[in-house]
Amino acid sequence: MAWLEALAEWHAKVSEAWLLVALRATVSAAREEAMEEHCAGLLQMVLAGAPVGVSPSQPWNDFLSDLRPPEHPQERVPSNLKRFAGNYINLIFCAAILTGSCMRPLLFTLCVVLQVVALLAPPEMFDVHLMQTKSAGGGFRSVGGPWIRYLMAVTAQIGLMSISLFCGQRGILVAVLLVLLHALFRARPWTVMAKEKLKGY
């Protein structure tokens, strides 16, 4: 049961990943206001230490605290895999991206620049003014703004995910090993242990 709950938590975190949510919004033809909200949400995730767009399950300052040898590893590992699911996913993908960046440095640099510009550049930078014909009223029409920012952010995330999946296999293996070691040695708070006892783990 504990392992199934851990797996379900990982699945939930991946399903809530910014890129997947953003792609679903694109398919449903979301409004420009929603595009701005999505980009603002990704910026908040990045500032919270989640550059791959998966919200950390626990604060990062809690991630490395209280490490000690396990007395009941069969209970601690699935519990920590569930409790730190978002942190572990970020760790795995970041390790894969960094490893892959050595093989695709230009693509990695382009994706990073795209993401930085999409998240930090002022809104007016993305406005495009097109001249209208007389039949359309003449003058200039502003188009693009939020959509350009949004597509840049989505493109950057797709590029980073591609680097991690196709070029970062070694990083994934190392990160998975680190995840299992952390899950083994990270002591659980007494509140978590009490809840698990009540559930009968």
In a domain, 49, yes or no: yes
Q: Which residues form the domain of 112?
A: 2-53+65-127+140-199
Sign of the torsion formed by the C-alpha atoms of 76, 82, 83 and 89: positive
pLDDT digits (tens, 9 = 90+) for 98-112: 999 999 999 999 999
Q: Report the distance separating Cα 115 and Cα 3, nearest Å.
A: 35
Query: What is the per-residue pLDDT for 23?
Result: 86
Question: Domain for residue 120, yes or no?
Answer: yes
pLDDT in the model for residue 199: 66
What radius of gyration do the chain's Cα atoms show?
21
> What is the per-residue pLDDT for 28?
61
State what percent of residues in the chain have pLDDT above 90: 65
Dihedral through CA 160, CA 146, CA 15, CA 159, nearest 10? Answer: -10
- Which pLDDT score, from 0 to 100, does residue 147 have? 84
Residue 144 lies in a domain: yes
Q: Could you tell me if residue 42 is inside a domain?
A: yes
pTM as predicted:
0.85
Residues 150, 38 contacting (CB under 8 angstroms): yes
Give pLDDT tens digits for 136-192: 555 544 556 788 889 999 999 999 999 999 999 999 999 999 999 999 999 988 676
The answer to whether residue 59 sits within a structural domain is no
Residue 86 pLDDT more than 90? yes
Query: What pLDDT was estimated at residue 71?
Result: 87
Mean pLDDT of 64-74: 89
The answer on pLDDT for 72 being more than 90 is: no
Q: Is residue 91 part of a domain?
A: yes
The reply to whether 132 falls in a domain is no
CA dist., res. 156 & res. 41, Å (int):
15
Q: How far apart are CA 156 and CA 49, in angstroms?
A: 17
Q: What is the CA angle 86-87-88, rounded to 5?
A: 90
Question: 6-45: per-residue pLDDT in tens?
Answer: 999 999 999 999 999 988 877 665 677 788 888 999 999 9
Number of domains in the chain: 1
